[in-house]
Structure 1
Amino acid sequence: MSAAAEKVEDVLITNEDDIHLASRSLKAMAHPLRLKILCILGGHTEVSVQDIVEQVGTSQSNISQHLSILRDKGILAARKDANKVYYRISDPKILQLIGSLREAFCSAVRR
């Protein structure tokens, strides 16, 4: 195997289980509202559900459903404090992925 082929295998996903896991996670992140939530959380250590609701501008029940999907996929972590729930991105690599998406797809960055 050539050195170039070895480098490609180091970067790409080759295991079927990993491909399915990555696909499910990307699908969860691909919804515009969920991506917006991730971008809000990316700029902070933690954000309360109420603060997310205020920044996104939709109902708390709608936000809670989307947060639940992201949490169930392991993309977000939650912490409860009294009657408030705070969310954060579970892994800094998720922020790197969002940054890569921005570089690849956002026209203002590519100019």
Structure 2
Amino acid sequence: MAESKPITRLIRSDQIEPVASRFKAIAHPLRLAIVCLLGPGERTVTEICQELGTTQPNISQHLNLLHNQDLLRSRKEGNRVYYAIADQRLSEIIGMLQQIYCPEDNA
């Protein structure tokens, strides 16, 4: 049987807090929905609001939190702000979660 490694050997000790904070940020249902929605590509704030059925101030608050955790990037084009996932690894993680928990969506 393989010997279990201490957690600090699995994640660099200087990265444990930032990684935990990022997971905490996407653990909220609406923020997880935002990240799932952005998996295929960037969207405007208006598109995100329409898709998720909530208000622009509410979405903006959640987008700011995700952006501050370096999970999202944004760009402005005219009066529109586009958001996208900042790190492809997050898209891969979300893709794995969707395969496990939403298999009918991936058929």
TM-score (norm 1): 0.80
Tell me the alpha carbon deviations over residues 3-61 of structure 1, each in whole angstroms, 9 at most, x when there is no partner: x66x998x82141x3110000000001101001001111022x1000000000000000
CA positional deviation for 1:96: 1.1
Q: Provide the rounded CA distance (Å) in 2 between the counterparts of 1:51 and 1:81.
A: 14
Q: What's the RMSD between the two structures over aligned residues? A: 2.3
Structure 1's unaligned 5+ residue stretches are: none
1:69 paired to 2:61: no
Cα shift at 1:108: 4.4
CA shift for structure 1 position 99: 2.4
Distance in 2, matches of 1:41 and 1:70, equals 12
What is the aligned length? Answer: 101
- Offset, 1:100: 2.9
Matching residue of 2:82:
86
Deviations 1:61-87 (A, max 9, x none): 000000000000000000011111000
Partner of 1:19: 16
1:32 aligns with 2:51: no
Q: Give the TM-score normalised by structure 2.
A: 0.83
SS in 1 for 2:74: strand
What are structure 2's unaligned runs of at least 5 residues?
Answer: none
Query: How far, CA to CA, are the matches of 1:94 and 1:108 in structure 2?
Result: 19
* d(CA) in 1 for partners of 2:29, 2:73: 20
Letter in 1 for 2:75: R
Q: Percent identity among equivalent residues? A: 43
